[in-house]
Amino acid sequence: MVARVQNLSCARGGIAVLSGVTFAVSPGQAIMLRGPNGVGKTTLLRCIAGLQPALAGRVDLPEAGVVYAAHADGVKAVLSVAENLAFWAAVQGARGIGAAIAAMDLGPLADRPAQNLSAGQRRRLGLARLLLGAPGALWLMDEPTVSLDAASVGLVERAVAAHLAAGGMALIATHLDLAVPGVAVLDLQAFRARAGTGVGAGTADAFAGPVE
Amino acid sequence: MKALFLRDLSLSFRAGGGFGLGLAFFLLVAVLVPLGVGADVAVLARIAPGVLWVGALLSCLLTLDRMFALDREDGTLDLLATSPLPMEGVVAVKAMAHWVATGLALTLVSPVLGVLLNLAPAGQGWLVLSLLLGTPALSVIGAFGAALTVGLKRGGLLLGLLVLPMYVPTLIFGAEVVRRGAAGLEVATPLAMLAGITAGAVALLPFAAAAAIRANLR
């Protein structure tokens, strides 16, 4: 099933930042959201995740649901890496945490309390939660590569590619290019809401098509 | 749901979780009151029901602000809101975990404190029963207050101001059960009122709290 966003307008702090956002993600496809700081990447992701109501427009989500990876990882410091993941596995209805631990290379850290992790390791733990979602889910990733080294970015790219290959979808807000096959780029600047009116000049041209 | 319940419980029992905090506070209140009031046994016996119930109220309040604020800080609340779990269920489960870690624990130690405050032996059983019936309401009403203040920095103080007035009916009927029980009077009416308040709070407030959290996450 396709995830579709139609004519969506969203606000941050009561001020419209985006309007007329329209795009669709089909299974096996990923879209990278681009735009300068403050353009509304996080706002759009929160809106699609259902955390804040849209001013206008509609969002149709796949039956498998969404998994949201925000800036904050939702990691409990006093629980171990494995305990953190086991909790989210139970919440999201996943079978086990073995695959997620392997994909994000957390095996050697599994029994460590999360408070002893470095920022990058913590981020990897946060992203491992994505792998606990349903296979066809839409991943909403908010700057997933922050504080990750090159090797870890590679792990994320492989995880996203595997998710897409299994029929999943992804929406990635990022400033860094992720080398994932079949990624399209959506520049949010084209959907900026005009000050005061709350109406933007969104055009279909904002779709730049596949990167590669 | 079960995982959330167990996680909240284990978080409250681990270092910095606040489980010991409420209990120690309850104990301190019960020890300090005789020191302040004086060792007049008759006076202590008369005020024991009220002191124990007020102590239970305050120690319950002590850990309320952690219920959602910690999850909000580290992003867990956002992720739970986007997870398949209904927010109403999340609130109910978290309130239940809070009750087990505070209300139930207070109930279990209350007979000891009853002795400390010279509560009449006939009232001991009623003290335990009234706390058992009344403290779930404290946790659920507290969950509602915590949900209302979850977006605020330093919301703890406001939470106290908000929640304590809502605790009044539970306090009145809870203490009344113990007082009448200790005096050997009939307790059915206040006991029924206490149970009714708890049942009403448990049935309605998770919905209100979930709505408040959704509004605060925006």
The answer to whether residue B56 scores a pLDDT higher than 90 is yes
Q: pLDDT tens digits for A56-74?
A: 888 988 888 899 998 888 8
Q: Give yes or no for residue B208 having a pLDDT over 60.
A: yes
Q: Which of A209, A188, A208 is nearest to A8 (CA)?
A: A188
d(CA A201, CA A183): 24
pLDDT digits (tens, 9 = 90+) for B84-110: 889 999 999 999 999 999 999 999 999
Model confidence at A208: pLDDT above 80: no
Chain B hits for A129, Cβ within 8 Å? 79
Question: Is A119 part of the contact surface with chain B (CB cutoff 8 Å)?
Answer: no
**Does B97 contact chain A (CB < 8 Å)?**
no
A51–B217 CB contact, under 8 Å: yes
User: What are the tens digits of pLDDT across the range B2-22?
Assistant: 888 989 888 888 866 778 888
User: What are the residues whose beta carbons fall under 8 Å from the beta carbon of A186, sequence distance 6 or more?
Assistant: A23, A31, A32, A33, A34, A206, A207, A208
Percent of chain B with pLDDT strictly greater than 90: 63
**Cβ pair B135, B107 in contact under 8 A:** yes
Residues in chain A closer than 8 A to B216 (CB atoms) = none
Strand partners, A33: A173, A186
Query: Does any CB of chain A come closer than 8 Å to the CB of residue B17?
Result: yes
Q: Give the number of beta-carbon pairs within 8 Å between A and B.
A: 68
Per-residue pLDDT at A15 exceeds 60:
yes
Please list the residues that pair with A193 across neighbouring strands: A200
B57, pLDDT greater than 90: yes
Would you place residue B170 in the very low, low, confident or very high pLDDT band (cuts 50, 70, 90)?
Answer: very high
- Cβ of A68 under 8 Å from any chain B Cβ? yes
In this prediction, residues B68-80 reach a mean pLDDT of 90
- Would an 8 Å CB–CB cutoff place B83 in contact with chain A? yes
Cα separation of B13 and A113, whole Å? 15
Contact assignment for A88 to B79 by CB distance below 8 Å: yes
Q: What is the mean pLDDT of residues A23-44?
A: 90
Inter-chain residue contact B78 with A68, CB threshold 8 Å: yes
Q: Is pLDDT above 90 for A191?
A: no
Identity (one letter) of the amino acid at A31? I
pLDDT band at residue A195 using 50, 70 and 90 as cut-offs: low
